[in-house]
Amino acid sequence: MNRENQVVQKVNYQRILDAEIEKITKEKRIPTLLLHSCCAPCSSYVLEYLSQYFNITVLYYNPNIYPDEEYEKRVAEQQKLIAEIPSGNSISFLKGSYDKERFYEMAKGLEDMKEGGARCFACYDLRLRETACIARENNFDYFTTTLSISPLKNAEKLNAIGRALEEEYGVKYLQSDFKKKNGYQRSTELSREYGLYRQDYCGCEFSFRARRREMENAENEKLGLHS
């Protein structure tokens, strides 16, 4: 078969997750999961879903968030959700360090990259690496992230990073694509139900500025102005 005619088989991460949950259920155990959360809205469906099977600690480690007041607002929303959402098993909260310098060091040379490219992939690695490190230090059974619930996030890349970190740190990565089973839609419903603040940009300074430019351009178009 010619290479051009070959069909690339996409990995079904939901099926992998289903199989892992089935295995856990058959073993009649409730493992511990360190769940990296990017924000409360994205974590809402994930917590509703996974708390049926795991004792979860939500790790809020996002040194990319800009500006400082936005970071604190997102932390507060995460804590509010955890306090209010019903859960099958325990859900606790762990606030990571807000080491902005580490993010900017990582982003050097990638500042002008488009959203969803190499800078974002490096940011995935930064946050997942910290999660894996904490999971190993505290003897968690699994670690994973809520990031894959966003239609704008690359689930294939996230799972590839997670699997590599599993090998490096010796803690099992819970493969997933939380967009499946209408996960993103459910997260928007839960956000309305709990009155959660939903931000209009990913979180970092670069996405903040890009979003503001988009809004300005849209406003100029509306007014018939040209830059």
The predicted-structure confidence for 32-72, as pLDDT tens digits, reads as follows 999 999 999 999 999 999 999 999 999 999 999 999 999 99
Q: Bigger pLDDT: 36 or 115?
A: 36
The predicted-structure confidence for 94-109, as pLDDT tens digits, reads as follows 999 999 999 999 999 9
Q: Which of 74, 78, 81, 88 shows the shortest CA–CA distance to 208?
A: 74
Q: What is the pLDDT of residue 2?
A: 47
Q: Which of 82, 88, 44, 17 shows the shortest CA–CA distance to 186?
A: 44
205 within domain boundaries:
no
Stretch 221-227: mean pLDDT: 61
212 within domain boundaries:
no
Q: What is the pLDDT of residue 210?
A: 80
What's the CATH number where 153 sits? Answer: 3.40.50.620
203 within domain boundaries:
no
The rounded distance, in Å, linking the Cα atoms of 132 and 144 is 8
Cβ count near 163 (within 10 Å): 13
Q: Which of 124, 48, 45, 106 shows the shortest CA–CA distance to 132?
A: 124
Residue 209 confidence class, pLDDT cut points 50, 70, 90 = confident
63 within domain boundaries:
yes
Q: How many residues does the chain have?
A: 227
Domain of residue 95, residue span: 10-198
Q: Is the peptide bond before 41 cis (omega within 30 degrees of 0)?
A: no
182 within domain boundaries:
yes
Domain count, the chain: 1
